[in-house]
Structure 1
Amino acid sequence: MNTLIFRTIAPLIVAVMVVFSIFITLRGHNEPGGGFIGGLIAAAALAILSIATSVQQARRSLHIHPLVFAGFGVFMAGVSGMVSMAAHAPFLTGLWLELELGEAHVALSTPLFFDLGVYLAVFGALGAVILGLETDGEID
């Protein structure tokens, strides 16, 4: 399925899927979505890219090994739980920090960082599996 049409349209499909995965991740605590489904969509985008181009090209486009994403995501999710313990609250209790940047009002929260950690962990783990399965026996 490596046709000229697929190779031409794949970068656009991948870009739309990555933007959609970030949107789904960021709205996860207010509406359906979250880090897990966002990570699945991003991993599917990586699979499409590797099928359209090659596994080597997909690895080069990441710039970082997928397992580094997974490790950092697990670390980020764990730290988001530890922050609440440092504030003398139970593990994984949601804490919010309200920032006012000019006229903009930004709310940072530990659930947001937890979702981003899950996103990176799912994307990294599945990305490593996807790229590993498509290598045809080549060692990374």
Structure 2
Amino acid sequence: METPVLRGLARWLFLLMLLFSLYLFYRGHNLPGGGFIGGLVAASGFHIYALAFGVGRARALLRLHPTELAVLGTSIALLAGLLALGRGAPFLTGFWTELLGQKLGTPLLFDVGVYLGVVGAVLSVLWAQEEEVRAG
């Protein structure tokens, strides 16, 4: 579906969707949203780019293979839970620290892992299907 209109809009849609996904991610700590929905929006942006320019160019833009990204995200989310176990608390108990006047905690680390895991998992499926359709 590589049309001139889609190619013209894809870069802008990609950037807007990535920015919106980061907004949803940030907003999700205190309101609806967070890593899951932010990851879905980011994956949609990457997929629109892939539809316009091909999966190869989209993979180059992502820099990591989607499967590697999913594993990285899952590992980060798991790390957030294991940090609590290391301090003698139940799995996924939240801990916070202050850095440069900002409160940072393990829930944020978990959300980052979910975000990356969702982007990687969704793109793995979508891009595998896209490559199969183009090859078939």
TM-score (norm 1): 0.90
**Higher helix proportion, which one?**
2
Deviations 1:71-117 (A, max 9, x none): 01110000000111112211101111012x3xxx2111100000010
Q: Map 1:112-123 onto structure 2 (within 5 A).
A: 112-123=108-119
Instruction: Confirm whether residue 124 of structure 1 aligns to residue 123 of structure 2.
Output: no
Distance 1:69 1:115 in 2: 14
The CA RMSD over aligned residues, in Å, is 1.5
Distance 2:54 2:2 in 1: 10
1:61 Cα deviation from its structure 2 partner = 1.2
Opposite residue 125 of structure 1, the aligned amino acid is: A
Unaligned runs of 5+ in 2: none
Distance 2:63 2:110 in 1: 24
**Bigger mean CA deviation after superposition, 128-137 or 63-72:** 128-137
Q: Which residue of 1 aligns with 2:23?
A: 23
Which consecutive aligned stretches of 4+ in structure 1 deviate over 2 angstroms post-superposition? Answer: 136-139
Q: Which residue of 2 aligns with 1:74?
A: 74
Distance 2:54 2:106 in 1: 37
Q: Which residue of 1 aligns with 2:52?
A: 52
